[in-house]
Structure 1
C-alpha cells in the first residue's frame, strides 16, 4: 500500500487503484458510535478520485457488532442519542450505496445490527466461513436501523427476514451465502487476501459500466419490466459512448486484454 492514515476509529490506505477503508475500533468489536460514523463518512468522502474501487474491512476478530450499546446506556437522553447515531450512520449507508465506484466488503467474526445494513449496501461481499450475522435489535428492545431491514428483506425475503429479526436469531455464513446476503465464502485465514484480490479485479474492469449495472440490479425489484427495459436502453447507449466501451470492443476485436481507465 502506498499511503495510509488513521482518523479516529477508521483507517484508510491506498493500494494502487483500491481505496482501503478499515473500521478500526477492534477493542470494541468496531461498535458504531458517532466518532466512528463521522470518521467513516470522511473516509468515503476522501476517496482519491482516481481510485477505482473501495475495499471495506474491519480490524480485529469481528467486522462490526452494531451500535455502541455502552454509549446508549450512558446517554442522558437515550432517544436523542440513538436518533443522532442512526441519522449519521444513514449518511454512511447512503454514501456506500451511491459511491461513484464499486464497493467490496470483506467481513469476519460478527456482523450485527447496523453492521448488516452496511454490508447490505456494498456491491460485493466476501465473508469468512465462521462469520455470524445477527440483527440483535430485539435483544435490546429496538427496531432496526442502518438499512438492515432493507438488506435482509431484499436478500432473504420477508418471511425469513422476519423470522431472523423477531426471534433475535443468527444467520451463519453458509446460509448468508445461500440466501444472497454475501456473494463469496472463503476460509477465515484467507479473508483479507481474497477480498483484496477481488477489489483489484473489480478495479481493473469497466467501473463506470459496473456502476450503471449496480443501479439496474438494485432497481429491478421495484420497477416494471417496461420501465426496466427503458432504463437498460438508456444506460447501454450511455455506456456505448463511454471510452470504456471503445476500449472493451477494440480489445475484443484485437484479441487482447482490455486496459480500462
Structure 2
C-alpha cells in the first residue's frame, strides 16, 4: 500500500494499482448519512488515474446497515431529510455504476437497506459466509431506495424479491450466492485477503474491455437480441482499436502473458 487518506466517514488508499475505499463509520455499522454519501461520491471522483480497479470495503464487523435511522428519527422534517439523503445516496450509486474501472466489493456481517443497493451496483462481490442480507425498509415503514429494489429484482426475480422485501426477510450469504447477488463466498477470516486478491487480479486485466463487457451484461436484460448484437459488434470494434487488444493478440501469438497495464 503506497499512500492513504481519511475523510469524514470514508478512508481511501492506493494499494498498487487498486483504489481502496473503506466505509469508515464502524461504530454505527457504516450507516449511511449525508456525510458518508458525500464522502463516497468524493472518494470515487478522487480515484487516481493510474489505478485500475476500485475495491470497496466496510470497516468493522458490518459492511453497511443501510440508512441512518437515528438521523431520520431526530430530523424535524423527516420526509425532507430522507429525500435529501436518498438523492445524495443515488449519486453515489450512479458513481459506482459508471465508474471508469471495475468495482470489486468485499462484504461481511450485515448488508441491509441501501447497503443492498450498493452491493448490487458493484461489478464483482465477495461475501463472507456469515453475511446476512436484509431489505430492512419494511421494518420502519419505508419503501426501498438506493437501487435495492433493482438489485434484488434483477438477481432474485420478482417473486423472490417481493417475498424478501414484503416480509422483511433475511437472505443468507449462501442464498445470495446461489441467486447471483454475490459472485464468490469465502470464510469470514479470509474476506479482506480474498477481495484484495480479486481486485488485484482484475487490475491486471484489460480493464477498458471489462467496462465495455459490464455495460453489455447490464443492458442484456432490458434489450432485444438484435439490439444486443448491434452493441456487441460496435463495442468489439472499439475494443479492437484499443491498445489492450493489440497487446492481447500480440501476446497470444507470441505465447507470452499479456501486459495490459502497459497498454495505454
- Normalised by the length of structure 1, the TM-score is 1.00
Equivalent pairs counted in the alignment come to 261
Secondary structure at the aligned position of 1:22 is classed as strand
What does residue 130 of structure 1 align with?
130
Q: In the TM superposition, what is the alpha-carbon distance from 1:50 to its structure 2 partner?
A: 1.2
Counterpart-to-counterpart distance in 2, 1:214 and 1:36: 26
Counterpart-to-counterpart distance in 2, 1:233 and 1:44: 30
Secondary structure at the aligned position of 1:258 is classed as coil
For 1:125-164, what aligned pairs fall within 5 Å after superposition? 125-164=125-164
What does residue 216 of structure 2 align with?
216
What does residue 166 of structure 2 align with?
166
Q: Deviations over 1:85-136 (max 9, x none)?
A: 0000000000000000000000000000000000000000000000000000
Secondary structure at the aligned position of 1:19 is classed as strand
What does residue 197 of structure 2 align with?
197
Counterpart-to-counterpart distance in 2, 1:151 and 1:36: 21
Q: In the alignment, does 2:230 pair up with 1:230? A: yes
Secondary structure at the aligned position of 2:256 is classed as coil
Secondary structure at the aligned position of 1:247 is classed as helix
Aligned Cα root-mean-square deviation (Å):
0.3
Counterpart-to-counterpart distance in 1, 2:222 and 2:9: 36
Counterpart-to-counterpart distance in 2, 1:83 and 1:249: 50
Q: Deviations over 1:43-85 (max 9, x none)?
A: 0000001110000000000000000000000000000000000
What does residue 27 of structure 1 align with?
27
Q: Deviations over 1:154-203 (max 9, x none)?
A: 00000000000000000000000000000000000000000000000000
Q: Specify every segment of 5 or more residues in structure 1 that has no aligned partner in the other structure, as ranges.
A: none
Q: Specify every segment of 5 or more residues in structure 2 that has no aligned partner in the other structure, as ranges.
A: none
Counterpart-to-counterpart distance in 1, 2:194 and 2:255: 28
User: Which segments of structure 1 move beyond 6 Å, counting only runs of 4 or more?
Assistant: none
What does residue 258 of structure 2 align with?
258
- Normalised by the length of structure 2, the TM-score is 0.99
Counterpart-to-counterpart distance in 2, 1:7 and 1:198: 25
What does residue 177 of structure 1 align with?
177
What does residue 12 of structure 2 align with?
12
Secondary structure at the aligned position of 2:95 is classed as helix
Q: In the alignment, does 2:78 pair up with 1:82? A: no
Counterpart-to-counterpart distance in 1, 2:251 and 2:110: 43
What does residue 49 of structure 2 align with?
49
